[in-house]
Amino acid sequence: MKLGFHASICDESTRSLADALRPRFDKLSEQLSGEYGGPMEHLWIDVELLVGSAKSDGQPQHTFRLQKRVSGRGHFGLPAMPDRFNVGHYSVRPDFSFLATHSTDESVSHIVQLIYESLAELEFKRRRVGDFDTRLLRERFLHTCKELGISIQSN
């Protein structure tokens, strides 16, 4: 399974945080991509860094969904990419008051902690994700964060 973390939609107030997340996300994606069982070939996790992008109840825009096919067709004259199959995709939303009052490193840890906690929710999607080993992914996530010097708490 190819794992992708994205913080690509941001505004001026969160751009520096998105820039700080990008290299860490690249390393996490590279080290955590692998075989976890189940039908998912890709798992994409978006971090919402726009204050106004939440639903009216404050929840992230995208709850977990498993799509059989994601088209790579190019829009507006952009080159096409290959289609992706069996893509799990959801978003997490940080606490913007926390981000406003803490350093970039603390904010990175906050966001990575939210991602770690969100992975546990995949256990409740067992019907959709089949034999996907959430426990193994979470263990590897903790270990990789420790190697990269990102401080998060296991729960």
**pLDDT value for 55:** 62
| Per-domain residue ranges of the chain | 2-74+82-148
Lowest-confidence pick of 41-45, 46-50, 64-68, 119-123: 64-68
Q: Taking a C-beta distance cutoff of 8 angstroms, is the pair 86, 40 a contact?
A: yes
**pLDDT value for 130:** 85
Half-sphere exposure of 1 (CA within 13 A, CB side): 24
pLDDT in tens, 57-108: 666 767 888 877 776 666 677 776 777 778 899 999 999 999 999 999 999 9
Give the three-state DSSP class for 49.
Answer: strand
Confidence class of residue 146 from pLDDT cuts 50, 70 and 90? very high
Distance (Å, whole) CA 142 – CA 145: 5
**pLDDT value for 9:** 86
Mean pLDDT, the chain, as a whole number? 88
**pLDDT value for 57:** 66
pLDDT in tens, 50-68: 887 656 666 676 788 887 7
**pLDDT value for 3:** 96
Phi, psi of 70 (to 5 degrees): -120, 120
Q: Taking a C-beta distance cutoff of 8 angstroms, is the pair 45, 85 a contact?
A: no
- Residue range 141-152: mean pLDDT, rounded: 95
Give the three-state DSSP class for 100.
Answer: helix
- Bigger pLDDT: 82 vs 30: 30
**pLDDT value for 58:** 61
Q: What percent of the chain has pLDDT over 70?
A: 90
Question: CATH code for 2-74+82-148?
Answer: 3.40.390
